[in-house]
Amino acid sequence: MRAAVLQGPGKLSIEEVEIDRPKDHEVLVKIKATGVCHSDLHYFEGNLPSPNPCILGHEAAGIVEEVGPGVTAFKPGDHVIQLPMIFCGHCPRCVSGFPTLCMNPGASRRRDDEKPRTSFRGRKITPTADGGSFAEKVLSHENGFVRIPDDVALDRAALVGCGVITGAGAVLRTAEVKAGTTVAVFGCGGIGLSAIQAARLAGARKVIAVDVLENKLAAARRLGATDTVDASSADPVKEIRKLTGGGADYAFEAIGLVQTARQAFECTATRGTAVIIGAIAGSPEIPIPYGLLMGERRIMGSILGSTRFVIDAPNYIELYRQGRFNLDEMVTRHCRLDDLLEAFEMMKRGEVIRSVVLYD
Ligand SMILES: [Zn+2]
Ligand SMILES: [Zn+2]
């Protein structure tokens, strides 16, 4: 099959790779659509570490082609979303409702002494984020997929696999935003717009979107932002304090920058909560003013939106079918596997919310 193979930073090419057939508890899925996520760009540029060689892509939807022995949750023909990680389902964190913090994700990968699921020129090739969906097919553990209804467009459903669960989950699961509160969201890409939509669903009375691009602020207004701040011309902390009368109850950072992470904390109200969603390259320190911390403010991270995959992913699909969660507006462009470099360039220029790669 064809796949986008990364062999070191910047070295991306479409190659023919080998894929095995499903063994115990494995599922082979024909990929129909994969969103181009900012993490893919980070891997491509070497800002996030990745195995070499690896296959990028982790925000996918497709159709089950074959299942291995022991698989009961899926059958050929089922429509599925691929998850951006594989939880074990048995460890203390999984069973207490936090599969995104699974203590044993390796349990669902093949051992080194087994035949690799995918290989390139005789070498094992590793999928990033247990995905590897910039490829015509994916072979993975059954805990890496969630079934969805057959009538949902797969290019829309794909976004649920990473951007939606990450952004909306940060609001609904990590922070548990309450009705009547005020929310600020820094960054209006796929994750930020999902956070904005979830804040509206949660009943926030004010949802303030912050970005430096007018096209993204306009999308934020259409998807539920009550106010917008153009950070290229205004200080977002001052503006948010003004709009909320003292600070936001919750602030979400969906860009992945130290400066905006700090701003997210600084714009919160007394006893407010700042949630850092964006992946910050290089794991730097985030300076926090002590005086603000003493207002009983909190700052916390969010991994994949604290999502309970099996419950939450189909819920977002159902909300989409009811017209209460807009996925259509977030898919701004379709492309082919061969156009991936162009998709990265457009993402860097902020011209798209999501490019989605389609496969035949
Ligand atoms: Zn992602
Ligand atoms: Zn686990």
Centroid of ligand 1 to alpha carbon of 89 (angstroms): 21
Name the closest ligand to CA 41: 1
Centroid of ligand 2 to alpha carbon of 83 (angstroms): 14
Q: Is the pLDDT of residue 108 over 90?
A: no
Per the annotation, the verdict on 39 as an active-site residue is yes
**Strands (E) located in the chain:** 2-6, 12-16, 18-19, 26-35, 54-55, 60-67, 79-82, 118-120, 123-124, 126-127, 137-141, 145-148, 182-186, 206-211, 227-230, 248-253, 268-276, 298-301, 331-335, 354-358
What would the DSSP string read from start to end of 192-220? Answer: HHHHHHHHHHHT-SEEEEEES-HHHHHHH
Q: Residue 245: what residue type?
A: G
Centroid of ligand 1 to alpha carbon of 246 (angstroms): 33
Ion ligand 2 contact residues with beta carbon within 5 A: 88, 91, 94, 102
Q: 246: which 2 tokens?
A: 């003292």
pTM: 0.95
64, 69, 73, 75: CA torsion to nearest 10: 30
Centroid of ligand 2 to alpha carbon of 107 (angstroms): 9
| pLDDT value of residue 257 | 95
Q: Is the separation of the CB atoms in 13 and 131 below 8 Å?
A: no
Among candidates 89, 81, 100, which has minimal Cα distance to 152?
Answer: 81
Among candidates 199, 203, 208, which has minimal Cα distance to 229?
Answer: 208
Q: Is the pLDDT of residue 307 over 90?
A: yes
Mean pLDDT over each residue of the chain, to the nearest integer: 96
| pLDDT value of residue 8 | 93
Q: Is the pLDDT of residue 107 over 90?
A: no
Q: Residue 236: what residue type?
A: P
Report the C-alpha gap between 41 and 252 in whole angstroms.
21
Per the annotation, the verdict on 267 as an active-site residue is no
Question: Which one of 38, 50, 54, 58 is the catalytic residue?
Answer: 58
Q: Which residues of 154-174 are buried (b: 16+ CB within 10 A; e: fewer)?
A: bbbbbbbbbbbbbbbbbbbbb
CATH T-level assignment (fold) for domain 176-301: Rossmann fold (3.40.50)
Name the closest ligand to CA 101: 2
Centroid of ligand 1 to alpha carbon of 40 (angstroms): 7
CATH T-level assignment (fold) for domain 2-161+307-358: Quinone Oxidoreductase; Chain A, domain 1 (3.90.180)
Domain ranges of the chain: 2-161+307-358, 176-301
Name the closest ligand to CA 95: 2
What would the DSSP string read from start to end of 125-172? Answer: -EEGGGT--SBSEEEEEGGGEEEE-TTS-HHHHHHIIIIIHHHHHIII
Q: Is the pLDDT of residue 283 over 90?
A: no
**Better-predicted residue by pLDDT, 325 or 352:** 325
Per the annotation, the verdict on 58 as an active-site residue is yes
Name the closest ligand to CA 108: 2
| pLDDT value of residue 106 | 80
Bridge partners, residue 120, by sequence = 123
Report the C-alpha gap between 100 and 97 in whole angstroms.
9
Report the C-alpha gap between 209 and 216 in whole angstroms.
9
Centroid of ligand 2 to alpha carbon of 261 (angstroms): 29
Per the annotation, the verdict on 42 as an active-site residue is yes
| pLDDT value of residue 281 | 84
Q: Is the separation of the CB atoms in 28 and 16 below 8 Å?
A: no
pLDDT band with cut points at 50, 70 and 90 for residue 87: very high
Among candidates 291, 254, 290, 294, which has minimal Cα distance to 274?
Answer: 254
Centroid of ligand 1 to alpha carbon of 309 (angstroms): 15
